[in-house]
Amino acid sequence: MFTGLAEGIGRIKGMHRMQDHMEICVAPLFEMAGCKLGDSVSVSGVCLTVSRMEADALYMDVSGETLSRSTLGLMKQGDHVNLERALRLMDRLGGHLVLGHVDGIGKITKKEAQNNSWLLRIEIPISLSRYIIKKGSIAVDGISLTINACENEFFDVNIIPHTGAETTLLRKNVGEPVNVETDLIGKYVEKLLLTEPSEKRERTSSGVTLETLLKYGFGK
């Protein structure tokens, strides 16, 4: 699990493609002291496991499922990626809870300077729109951002100078793809509300219903 606050940028040194999966080699462009075999690392929003190491590079396997849902299969040697090591329980949660399980690929359709920040508009698959809410959280290429505005097929976010300088987001141009992970809380709420009661399924004692959520101000 991650916070969506990238530690720094890495560069792809190599990609070894096999039948239905791939091994990726990433060179961090910052100090990653203490990184070891088996560690989880978010690579532009995708949770991967360090399978072997060199003095200046990390090797990680990418499954076919991950390739089908993320931009990793579209990348090439020399591309830059955002890197973040897994959250420790004693760390501050500066962003939001990010699993590193990408929901789908979005596309930048607008990039506009606004005073000292940048507005990015990102087009998303319609199937993800139900998890997008104004002022909610979202991870774009592994970066925790706040949704400023949204419609059925897109959302807007602002990139402040620090985020622009420390991540790859402002290096991307209109038309380029990005990894999108929606807020996991919305997915669980949806499952609770839409699951039909069944005699074969043990009923929950939580009492969470649509009426209960509306009563306490959710969804207004």
Assigned token pair, 126: 């319609």
Distance, CA of 187 to CA of 183 (rounded, Å): 7
Residue 55 counted as domain residue = yes
Q: What is the pTM of this model?
A: 0.86
CA angle 183–217–206, rounded 5-degree value: 70
- Give pLDDT < 50 ranges for the chain: 199-204
- pLDDT score for 114: 92
**181-215: per-residue pLDDT in tens?**
999 998 888 888 887 665 444 444 555 666 766 66
Alpha-carbon distance 213 to 208, whole Å?
7
Q: What is the DSSP string of 37-56?
A: TT-EEEETTEEEEEEEEETT
Q: Which of 65, 85, 105 is the last residue of a domain?
A: 85
Alpha carbon distance 113, 191 (integer Å): 38
Given 27, 58, 85, which residue is the final one in a domain?
Answer: 85
pLDDT tens across 156-179, in order?
Answer: 999 999 999 999 999 999 999 999
- What dihedral do alpha carbons 25, 31, 37, 38 form, nearest 10°? -90
Question: Residue 131 domain-assigned?
Answer: no
Q: How many domains does the chain have?
A: 2
* Domain span at 59: 8-85
CATH of the domain at 33: 2.40.30.20
